[in-house]
Structure 1
């Protein structure tokens, strides 16, 4: 049950990510923040990927200021706040199957890269015991520089790919515009066309009709002779 609290214990529990939210009754928020914080520590220690520790201060400061913001709310605003999982974890877990089906290739590449990082960290740690002591410094520098070189090359390749795709898109747009709005000039078609003199034929027809009307005897005689 949610209950707005103030005082010393709120400050103490706010120092532990997720504990302050749970102390004030926001169980879902506190549980999700605790899972993120301690899960990041466990994942970094198991896999040996130290860069995962960069998420720890972000989670800690978010939890600390979230507790003190909840404490400073008015009573009406405090009880109107809904207790939801952070980052919509409940919805994410339900939609994870659909997401993986829709983005199978992207998820596969992420898992492959994650596995390569774990293997590289384990391989380098074992390599330090194999090489001679006078070569440890050289091997250490190479092992630290090689991932950075690969990442830099990947970033450059991604930038070149985006530029080429943008150029192809602009070229296609210009070609479609030219197809719709430009018609070539073909003078040979105008030369082959013959003019049609409709005025002379119409004058002859009108003259014959007028003569037949003005001289009905001729028409009758012509019909009798036929």
Structure 2
């Protein structure tokens, strides 16, 4: 009974229930993916994408923990495998470039209207400072996405 309650509370934290069962690769990957995507979305002003990206990751982690627990209870051996392979990102640079470009543009659009336009017309220098500070991560994403797209075109052109 106590183990069920402890497991439930661990399953509320993405990846913690997997690590509780000894599946550290899977648990750490789920935890880093969920918390990392939440942090990145907040850092480049795309809070509206949190329900689209973070909530499904959290639900997947929750139900994956219970599914693995059921398999272990049935006597099956569960391997500590990653949820997804990092090779997907390394081999699809064009897709990653488009994703970074898209997320950067969303972050830039979200950071500009509220403060930069007002600041350009003479409200306060502090608003310019904070709006430029909020625009650094989206600009970095746009530049890195464009770089990956250009690099993937050069590779496609050579082959």
Normalising TM by the smaller chain, what interval?
0.5 to 0.7
TM-score (norm 1): 0.46
Higher RCO, 1 vs 2 (CA within 8 Å, ≥6 residues apart): 2
RMSD after superposition: 2.6
Tell me how far apart the structure 2 counterparts of residues 99 and 63 of structure 1 sit (CA, whole Å): 25
Deviation at 1:118, TM superposition (A): 2.1
| Contact persistence 1:49–1:117 (CA under 8 A) | yes
Structure 2, gaps ≥5 residues long: 123-159
Alpha-carbon distance change, 68 to 115 in structure 1, aligned in 2, over 3 angstroms = closer
Of the three residues 99, 103, 121, the one matched with 2:92 is 99
CA displacement, residues 37-59 of structure 1 (integer Å, 9 cap, x when unaligned) = 10111111110012330222211
The aligned residue for residue 105 of structure 2 is 116
TM-score (norm 2): 0.62
| Contact persistence 1:40–1:52 (CA under 8 A) | no
- Confirm or deny that 1:17 pairs with 2:6: no
Structure 1, gaps ≥5 residues long: 1-5, 133-226
| Contact persistence 2:17–2:27 (CA under 8 A) | yes
What's the secondary structure of 1:125's corresponding residue?
A: helix
| Contact persistence 2:44–2:104 (CA under 8 A) | no
Greater C-alpha Rg: 1
The count of residues paired between Structure 1 and Structure 2 equals 118
